[in-house]
Structure 1
Amino acid sequence: MTRSEGGTLNARCNCGQVQMRAVGRPIAVTACYCESCRKAGELFKALPGAAPVLNSDGSTDFVLFRKDRIDCVRGADQLREHRLTPTSKTRRVIATCCNTPMFLEFTGGHWLTLYRQRLDRDARPALEMRVMTRDRRADVSLKDDLPSYAGHSGKFMLKLMGAWAAMAFRSPKTDYVKGELDGHGT
């Protein structure tokens, strides 16, 4: 596949022990400003040797893929989940070998959301939109270089629904995450 068709993208932790592979075109490439992503980013930043996920404006860059197009090819035994609350439907997954945030997953969803910084620098897809801007920090002014949405736009939701339809409305399980991050999952 050519890069314009999506090709193959690799995501790695900082030390290289964990590698994810995504095939095909991403569903969406976004910068999220929600409070949960900022809170998680601050928690992860406090881990020893952690790789940052927050941009200077408090946003987090994500690349969403269909679950049937992404897999862990190396280091699955290093992956641990973190939930901000015990009932959170979103789990964020860290490579414990070097405390690198790798992806997040909405429980029961059909997509997996890679932290964009984990992708090889020369292959990172460009941001398409900003979402959840109503939650941005008070000191952040948005540029008009990308579409910005207070929540999740209709375009974003249509992309998710289109991907789900293309998967025959299946939601595959992500079975390569071994458990909760010791001392940090709640």
Structure 2
Amino acid sequence: MGDTTRIGCTCGQTRLEVRGAPIASVECCCASCREAGERFRHLEGAPDILTEYGATPFVMYRKDRVRFLGGSEGLKAVRLSQDASTRRIVATCWNTPVFLELKGGHWLSLYGELWSDGTRPPPQMRTMASNLPSGAVLPDDIPNAKKQNLGFFARLFGAWVAMGFRNPKMSVTGEIDV
């Protein structure tokens, strides 16, 4: 549990440290994650965050286990619409997506691209597979849940209990339109 992993943006200016094991490592197939991935492709220097079948890899961590080591002043929020309950945070130095935060959530979904090659925890499941366009084919190497399943919610709830039902705030100033 005391193990730490250092991750960061494309250029290395924005650096984070995550502590302990993640809540889960997933690939999200929802329409909004695919839309965000497509929008990010148009940002100069941004990495391609979508898999070949349109999923977005995330490693989910409790907020109290994520610490910024540098570059947090360059973080900006992206919302897909003005009333969106999620915000995606981008390191503006090289337009690297850093995390997705659900309003009221006690965890961060850190973008898989932050890990160097071969170091990201392998995905344990795909979620929201029912949101993929008709004809999309997913590999059968891990469970492909149509929505978020009970095991997914149990992991989130267990993490919240372990945090004493707290929800630390993540301070990000400013937004960008993508």
**What residue number does 1:100 align with?**
96
Further displaced range: 7-16 or 33-42: 7-16
**Runs of 4 or more consecutive aligned structure 1 residues displaced over 6 Å after TM superposition:** none
Unaligned runs of 5+ in 2: none
The answer to whether the 8 A contact 2:53-2:138 is kept is no
Evaluate the alpha carbon distance shift between residue 6 and residue 39 of structure 1 in structure 2; reply closer, same or farther with a 3 A threshold: farther
Residue type of the alignment partner of 2:107:
W
Per the alignment, residue 19 of structure 2 pairs with 23
CA drift at 1:6: 7.2
1:51 corresponds in structure 2 to 47
Q: Is the partner of 2:13 in helix, strand or coil?
A: coil
Aligned partner of 2:174 in structure 1 is 179
TM-score, length-normalised on structure 1?
0.92
**Coordinate RMSD, CA, aligned:** 1.2
CA contact (8 A) 2:37 2:48 kept: yes
TM-fit CA distance, 1:116: 1.0
Identity of aligned residues (%): 43
**1:100-139 correspondence runs (5 A):** 100-139=96-135
CA drift of 1:150 comes to 0.4
Matches within 5 A, 1:150-165: 150-165=146-161
The answer (yes or no) to whether the contact 1:9–1:123 under 8 Å persists in 2 is no
Counterpart secondary structure, 1:94 = strand
User: Which residue matches 1:71?
Assistant: 67
User: Bigger shift: 75-84 or 137-146?
Assistant: 137-146
Aligned counterparts of 1:59 and 1:148: Cα–Cα separation in 2: 11
Question: What is the aligned residue count?
Answer: 178
Report the CA distance between 1:123 and its aligned residue. Answer: 2.3
Unaligned runs of 5+ in 1: none
